[in-house]
């Protein structure tokens, strides 16, 4: 699963599109005046602090001066993440759509959340309120803890997971998705693809037997490292760790080097249907 990228090996684009996690040893470092931001008390009633693509800071507590510092740090990480992806995968230049930036100051281990929000369970990412209509979810992470690693586990290949859960899933009738969009429950209209991806996310997280028995591998990221992967295809669970930054990019399937490796094309192949 893991590919510690070396320019002499196969291209990082191929590794990412093949469902691997690309780990970069040289990472993103906090500035001295940002070190005190490693504080879970700065969370304002959510799992993560977010910076929207239009530069709005969300779910941050604390005085204005601290929120400004958070915003500056997260914007700097967003720029770093774009440079990183463009250097790793020059093919994507010009096609990457900036999504949210998140700062994750809470310890993962021991957090009490509902099954569907529980990221310690293996899953692929799917956004309930923000349908991608087939676009890829490419994420850049940085462990900004002073010394502790962030512990993940990765699971079986996407197609194998999908073969298990797909038979249980039916996309919503289009009228239902139109209604969700009309009342503002979703940002734009969900496609059958979004319904299936959310179904796979929920199906895997709800199935405790699957969680216990499915193939898995531990993967830890040392303090100071950065990693990149398509979290819509890499089965992943975050088990333990504190203080990470994450940047989401969306990428149109047509901008991939090998679009047939996208979950959209894989699911279309498996269902025999057009899903967007």
Residues that bind ligand SIN (CB under 6 A): 104, 119, 125, 141, 150, 231, 236, 238, 244
Query: Least distance to Fe ion from the beta carbon of 233, Å?
Result: 11
Q: Of these partners, Fe ion, ligand SIN, none, which one is at the site of residue 104 (CB under 5 to 8 Å by kind)?
A: ligand SIN
Q: Of these partners, ligand SIN, Fe ion, none, which one is at the site of residue 92 (CB under 5 to 8 Å by kind)?
A: none
Query: At 238, phi and psi to the nearest 5?
Result: -105, 115
CA distance 72 to 78: 10
Stretch that binds Fe ion, among 4-12, 64-72, 119-127, 239-247 (CB under 5 A): 119-127
Query: Least distance to ligand SIN from the beta carbon of 98, Å?
Result: 18
* Nearest to Fe ion of 125, 207 (CB atom): 125
Q: Is 194 in the site for Fe ion (CB under 5 A)?
A: no
* Nearest to Fe ion of 234, 256 (CB atom): 234
* Nearest to Fe ion of 195, 246 (CB atom): 246
Q: Are the CB atoms for 243 and 107 separated by under 8 Å? A: no
As beta bridge partners, residue 51 has 57, 101
Taking every pair of Cα atoms in the chain, the longest distance, rounded to a whole number of angstroms, is 54
Distance (Å) of CA 74 to CA 125, 133, 160: 21, 27, 36
Stretch that binds Fe ion, among 6-14, 121-129, 183-191, 248-256 (CB under 5 A): 121-129
Query: Least distance to ligand SIN from the beta carbon of 231, Å?
Result: 6
Q: Which of 24, 39, 84, 81 is nearest to 222 (CA)?
A: 24
* Nearest to ligand SIN of 49, 192 (CB atom): 49
Of positions 43, 57, 125, 221, contacts Fe ion by CB under 5 A: 125
Q: Of these partners, ligand SIN, Fe ion, none, which one is at the site of residue 100 (CB under 5 to 8 Å by kind)?
A: none
* Nearest to ligand SIN of 9, 107 (CB atom): 107
Structure tokens at 45: 């009633």
* Nearest to ligand SIN of 139, 190 (CB atom): 139
Q: Give the SS3 label for residue 62.
A: coil
Query: Least distance to ligand SIN from the beta carbon of 102, Å?
Result: 8
Q: Which of 174, 198, 193, 197 is nearest to 133 (CA)?
A: 193
CA distance 145 to 38: 8
Q: Are the CB atoms for 226 and 141 separated by under 8 Å? A: yes
* Nearest to Fe ion of 80, 152 (CB atom): 152
Q: Of these partners, ligand SIN, Fe ion, none, which one is at the site of residue 244 (CB under 5 to 8 Å by kind)?
A: ligand SIN
CA distance 31 to 17: 33
Structure tokens at 14: 């191929």
CA distance 31 to 248: 22
Would you tell me which residues interact with Fe ion (CB under 5 A)? 125
């Amino acid at each position: 699963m893991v590919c510690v990228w070396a320019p002499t090996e196969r291209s990082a684009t191929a590794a990412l599109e093949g469902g691997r996690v690309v780990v970069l040893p040289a990472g993103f470092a906090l500035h001295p005046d940002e070190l005190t931001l490693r504080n879970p008390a700065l969370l304002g009633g959510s799992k993560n602090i977010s910076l929207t693509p239009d530069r709005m800071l969300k779910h941050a507590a604390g005085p204005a001066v601290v929120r400004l510092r958070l915003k500056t740090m997260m914007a700097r990480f967003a720029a770093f993440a774009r440079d990183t992806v463009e250097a790793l995968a020059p093919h994507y230049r010009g096609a990457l759509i900036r999504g949210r930036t998140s700062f994750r100051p809470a310890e993962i281990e021991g957090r009490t959340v509902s099954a569907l929000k529980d990221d310690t369970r293996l899953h692929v990412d799917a956004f309930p309120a923000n349908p991608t209509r087939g676009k890829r979810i490419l994420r850049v992470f940085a462990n900004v803890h002073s010394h502790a690693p962030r512990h993940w586990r990765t699971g079986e290949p996407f197609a194998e997971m999908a073969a298990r859960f797909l038979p249980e899933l039916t996309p919503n009738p289009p009228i239902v998705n139109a209604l969700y969009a009309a009342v503002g429950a979703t940002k734009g209209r969900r496609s059958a693809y979004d319904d299936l991806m959310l179904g796979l996310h929920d199906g895997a997280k709800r199935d405790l037997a699957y969680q216990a028995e499915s193939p898995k591998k531990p993967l830890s990221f040392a303090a100071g490292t950065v990693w990149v992967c398509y979290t819509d295809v890499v089965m992943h669970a975050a088990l333990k760790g504190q203080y990470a930054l994450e940047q989401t990019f969306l990428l149109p399937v047509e901008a991939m080097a090998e679009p047939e490796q996208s979950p959209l094309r894989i699911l279309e192949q498996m269902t025999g249907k057009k899903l967007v």
